A and B are shown apart, each in its own frame.
Chain A
Amino acid sequence: DAGITQSPRHKVTETGTPVTLRCHQTENHRYMYWYRQDPGHGLRLIHYSYGVKDTDKGEVSDGYSVSRSKTEDFLLTLESATSSQTSVYFCAISDYGLGNQPQHFGDGTRLSIL
Chain B
Amino acid sequence: AQKVTQAQTEISVVEKEDVTLDCVYETRDTTYYLFWYKQPPSGELVFLIRRNSFDEQNEISGRYSWNFQKSTSSFNFTITASQVVDSAVYFCALNSGGYQKVTFGIGTKLQVIP
Contact = CB atoms under 8 A, between A and B. Distances in A.
A42 B94 CA distance: 13
A94 interface: yes
B101 A58 contact: yes
A107 B43 contact: yes
B105 A42 contact: yes
Nearest to B96: A98
B interface bracket (residues with beta carbon within 8 Å of A)? 20 to 34
A74 interface: no
Interface residues of A, number: 26
Interface of B: 6, 31, 33, 35, 37, 43-45, 47, 50, 52, 91, 93, 95, 100-107
Interface of A: 31, 33, 35, 40-45, 48, 50, 58, 88, 90, 92, 94, 97-99, 101-105, 107-108
